Structure 1
Amino acid sequence: MGVRRKAREAALQFLFQEDFMLEEGHQVENFLERFDSFCTLYQVNRKARPYAQQLLVGILRDRIEIDTCIEQAASNWRLARIAATDRNILRLAVFEMMSADEIPDQVAINEAVEIAKRFAGDESPAFINGVLDAVKTSIRS
């Protein structure tokens, strides 16, 4: 497994954890400190940490735009109704599609689908693929 895949998976796991922490009143301010603790606790590969951190900072910075893009592409689905794992996989891929020029859209989509196969439900890979395809069409037109 490549370093970027490991980074994406670490970012996904941290975002999933943060979904519950932010609901309980944790602050965004010490986000990176919590990520460092997360990396130590779960022994995240040191080479994967910088890219995971880049993903997390970008998602935090652009979250409103990313979430709006997902909601528009996931017709008849409110963001809150999408499973937390699926929602965070979508956020990772949409951020990469919007911001990472060196990563082709299809690579971001394929990575998201592969991560969904590992971490999400049986129907998640197809759902994620469909939403990301719609996102790609939307942002590239």
Structure 2
Amino acid sequence: MSTRRDGRELALQALYSKDLVLQDANVALRRIIESFGEGEDPALEIRTKAFSFASELVNGVIANLDEIDKRIAEKSKHWSMSRMARVDLNILRLAVYELLYRDDIPKNVTMNEAIEVAKKFGAEDSASFVNGILDEIASTVTDKE
């Protein structure tokens, strides 16, 4: 697993927590990070990078939430956003943020990472659901590679 994958998973948990208990996503992220503890962990540098990336993602999604949700709503033809599983919706939000606002992440990486995170955290059909909507959105975004 990569540092960025860890960051994406942490960001997903923070955004999901925000939706579930209506708390600030950054507060949720801090609580998640604190649960890992400190100490003389040789992987501390890797965790710090993952936490930093997660924070960038959470703040980016929050700052651009209206545009991100608009894009998702436009491309989810038979699903209103209120009917989507919160996990799937937040995976989509993270991926759409990356597609629209992160020039340093290639489109295919964003797509693959979202699908893998959906396989891990979502329901049985989450990966194909996420892939279908992201394909539609990605086709409207110019390639960053």
Task: Say yes or no: TM over 0.5.
Answer: yes
User: How far apart in 2 are the matches of 1:87 and 1:96?
Assistant: 14
Q: One-letter code of the match for 2:29?
A: F
Aligned residues: 135
> Shift of the alpha carbon at 1:41?
1.8
User: How far apart in 2 are the matches of 1:106 and 1:117?
Assistant: 17
User: How far apart in 1 are the matches of 2:26 and 2:82?
Assistant: 24
The residue aligned with 1:131 is 133
Runs of 4+ in 1 over 3 A off after TM superposition: none
The residue aligned with 2:68 is 66
1:78-89 matches, cutoff 5 A: 78-89=80-91
User: How far apart in 2 are the matches of 1:74 and 1:138?
Assistant: 14
| Identity in percent | 36
Q: Is the 8 A contact 2:111 2:134 kept in 1?
A: yes
Q: Compare CA radii of gyration and give the structure with the larger one.
A: 2
1:27-106 matches, cutoff 5 A: 28=24, 31-42=25-36, 45-106=47-108
Which runs of 5 or more residues in structure 1 are unaligned? none
> Shift of the alpha carbon at 1:42?
4.5
- Give the 3-state SS of the residue equivalent to 1:67 in structure 2: helix
Question: 2:15 matched to 1:15?
Answer: yes
- Give the 3-state SS of the residue equivalent to 1:56 in structure 2: helix
Which runs of 5 or more residues in structure 2 are unaligned? 38-43
TM-score between both structures, scaled by the size of structure 1:
0.88
